[in-house]
């Protein structure tokens, strides 16, 4: 890794700025924490009073009202519990004095080697291996002038719940009679099978192997299950974080004496050391054990507690030998990791990052409302300028009529048939009404004062599919300010020739609502229609992308050049 002094200076300033901004937000978070605690206390007192009142009330109507109020207050109390957790998470994150990067990926792809390059540590602290997973413990490595390590051990209870039981959950799927382990004594006496038979996935086989190792080596690490924190010299750290070597396993097999598996008792490790050429940079690296060959419940175990400890994920991937692509399975593992990453994981996060977004395949008003909310929230969270951030929401039109018309024809009544060709425009016009409502009022005005732009509705799929309808139906009916219409060339030519240029999208929202009400009356569930179209749209886009990749792959391969031919 090469970095000059000027680049380092800029990095240090940026990280320091992030941390200073966080610290500045702490008082506001604390006020919200205090407010939530007060409101929660008030609700709990009300619940106590209502519960006491319920014991003495004899009127059945009054009792029913009291029980309803208690149910409502319990739901409200649960929501404040969720709010408290969220605020606590923010408080932890904003209190940290480092920006933390989680490094993970599948085992055996060079993750530990990458960490060594950044931190300057060696195999003694971050073991690497040839073809074998060797890092068994989650480690946090901080850029510091100190050189030391803190090893945190599990206690007996958390060892069983966080280590043994997730593995056992996987193994039990293959057993006729599931096993239960609730204590160390239960682990010691459990009758685990030696194998799970043929045609069993590698995750399950590995889980059984880990359980057997934990059982056979229990006497070697049981004394460490204290829940304590131990200061360890960096030179002695390997024995706490690595799997046994091949030589260790051979010796265990030949002597029958369990090898050292201290890592089983270790919950986490913090390492403090100076990073080469990165002096003064307040960063931490979170070394996650390799994912991909362990079950989801075990992966959850590794990731537990990191929701507030990681600012960004740095995935390590290695291409397959045959195609030059990372293995398909890595995508699932990265998705798993993104659950703990507060970075780019929602549309609103892209807007916050200043990335312009086209949100496509919108059919329903409910989905569109959620998209607008994501856009507004993203702008509000953005610390920098917002005047250059733009977005469109692609609302599909004609496909709605195609599906609704089929259902109307199946119903076959005069009232149903009279509604053919009306659903799509009415649905889109009400989407425009929603646009005008959400991009007005105090909330939007505050963003507009910062220079924010509206997220424009983009009318997609506007060619007429039914030849009996006017060829400019989905253009003439949806003209309004701040809209975009993506017309195919044939429709564009038709509109240029005989289209009607008039403001129509917001001409009569009540008439549009009446159309949707009549659709419901004749038996057409528009929510079902839009849900189906969304699923079909995603499948269609996926198929098109796959077809594109197949075509590009074929063209990249190309016909073999004949010997002596022109290049």
- Residue 388 pLDDT: 84
What pLDDT does 460 receive? 95
pLDDT at 229: 95
**DSSP E strands: which ranges in 171-265?**
229-232
- Cα gap 423→402, rounded to integer Å: 9
How far apart are the C-alpha atoms of 130 and 132, rounded to whole Å? 6
- pLDDT computed for residue 201 by the predictor: 75
Containing 308, the helix (H) or strand (E) segment is none
Enclosing H/E stretch for 475 = helix 473-476
Helices (H), 265-342: 296-303, 329-338
Rounded Cα–Cα distance for residues 86 and 213 (Å): 38
Q: Looking at residue 401, what is its pLDDT? A: 96
| SS3 category, 222 | helix
| Beta strands per DSSP E along 18-177 | 99-105, 139-143, 148-153
- Give the residues of the chain that fall short of pLDDT 50: 1, 130-134, 292-295, 319-332, 340-346, 560-567
Host H or E run for residue 159: helix 156-159
Q: Distance (Å, rounded) from C-alpha 26 to C-alpha 90?
A: 8
pTM of the model: 0.54
pLDDT in tens, 264-320: 999 888 999 999 888 889 999 887 655 544 445 555 555 555 556 777 777 665 544
pLDDT at 350: 55
Residues 6+ apart with CB under 8 A from 231: 148, 149, 150, 151
Strands 148-153 and 266-273: antiparallel
C-alpha torsion sign, points 318, 322, 325, 328: negative
Name residues whose C-beta falls within 8 Å of residue 69's C-beta, 6 or more positions apart in sequence. 50
- What is the pLDDT, as a whole number, of residue 484? 95
DSSP readout, 29-91? HHHHHHHHHHHHHHHHHHHHHHHHHHHH---HHHHHHHHHHHHHHHHHHHHHHHHHHHHHHHH
Place of tokens 């940026």: 14
Residues 379, 452: contact at Cβ < 8 Å? yes
HEC secondary structure over 98-111: CEEEEEEEECCCCH
Phi, psi of 393 (to 5 degrees): -115, 110
3-state secondary structure 312-332: EEEEECCECCCCCCECCHHHH
Query: Which pLDDT belongs to residue 557?
Result: 61
Cβ neighbours of residue 557 closer than 8 Å, sequence gap 6 or more: none
């Amino acid at each position: 890794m090469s970095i000059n002094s000027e680049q380092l200076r800029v990095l240090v300033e940026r990280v320091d700025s992030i941390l200073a901004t966080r610290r500045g937000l702490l008082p506001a978070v604390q006020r919200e924490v205090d407010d939530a605690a007060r409101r929660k206390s008030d609700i709990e007192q009300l619940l106590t009073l209502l519960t006491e009142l319920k014991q003495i009330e004899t009127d059945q109507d009054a009792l029913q009202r009291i029980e309803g109020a208690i149910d409502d207050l319990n739901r409200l109390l649960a929501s404040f519990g969720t709010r408290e957790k969220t605020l606590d998470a923010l408080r932890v994150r904003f209190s940290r004095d480092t920006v933390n990067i989680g490094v993970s990926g599948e085992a055996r792809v060079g993750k530990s080697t990458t960490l060594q390059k950044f931190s300057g540590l060696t195999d003694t602290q971050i073991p690497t291996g040839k073809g074998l997973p060797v890092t068994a413990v989650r480690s946090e490595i901080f850029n510091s002038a100190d050189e030391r390590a803190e090893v945190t051990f599990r206690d007996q209870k958390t060892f069983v719940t966080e280590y043994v039981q997730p593995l056992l959950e996987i193994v039990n799927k293959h057993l006729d009679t599931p096993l239960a382990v609730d204590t160390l004594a239960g682990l010691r006496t459990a009758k685990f099978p030696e194998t799970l038979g043929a045609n069993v996935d590698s995750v399950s086989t590995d889980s059984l192997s880990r359980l057997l190792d934990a059982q056979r080596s229990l006497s070697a690490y049981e004394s460490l299950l204290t829940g304590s924190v131990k200061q360890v010299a960096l030179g002695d750290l390997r024995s706490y974080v690595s799997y046994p070597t091949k030589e260790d396993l051979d010796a265990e097999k030949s002597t029958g004496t369990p090898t050292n598996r201290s890592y089983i008792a270790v919950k986490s490790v913090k390492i403090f050391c100076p990073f080469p050429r990165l002096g003064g940079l307040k960063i931490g690296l979170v070394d996650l054990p390799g994912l991909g060959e362990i079950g989801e419940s075990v992966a959850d175990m590794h990731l537990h507690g990191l929701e507030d400890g990681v600012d960004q994920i740095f995935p390590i991937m290695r291409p397959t030998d045959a195609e030059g692509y990372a293995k398909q399975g890595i995508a699932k593992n990265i998705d798993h990791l993104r659950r703990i990453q507060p970075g780019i994981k929602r549309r609103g996060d892209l807007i916050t990052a200043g990335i312009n977004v086209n949100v496509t395949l919108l059919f329903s008003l409910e989905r569109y409302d959620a998209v607008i909310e994501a856009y507004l929230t993203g702008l509000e969270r953005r610390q920098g300028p917002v005047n250059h951030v733009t977005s469109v929401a692609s609302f599909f039109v004609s496909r709605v009529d195609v599906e609704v018309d089929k259902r109307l024809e199946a119903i076959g009544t005069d009232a149903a048939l009279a509604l053919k060709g009306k659903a799509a425009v009415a649905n889109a016009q009400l989407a425009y009404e929603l646009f005008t409502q959400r991009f007005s009022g105090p909330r939007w005005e505050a963003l507009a004062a910062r220079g924010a732009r509206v997220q424009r509705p983009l009318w997609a799929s506007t060619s007429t599919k039914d030849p009996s309808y006017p060829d400019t139906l989905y253009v003439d009916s949806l003209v309004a300010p701040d809209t975009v219409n993506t017309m195919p060339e044939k429709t564009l030519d038709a509109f240029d020739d005989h289209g009607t240029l008039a403001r129509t999208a917001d001409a009569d929202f009540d008439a549009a609502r009446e159309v949707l009400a009549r659709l419901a009356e004749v038996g057409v569930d528009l929510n079902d229609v839009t849900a189906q179209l969304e699923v079909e749209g995603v499948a269609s886009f996926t198929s098109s992308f796959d077809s594109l990749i197949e075509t590009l792959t074929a063209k990249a391969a190309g016909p073999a050049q004949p010997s002596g031919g022109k290049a």
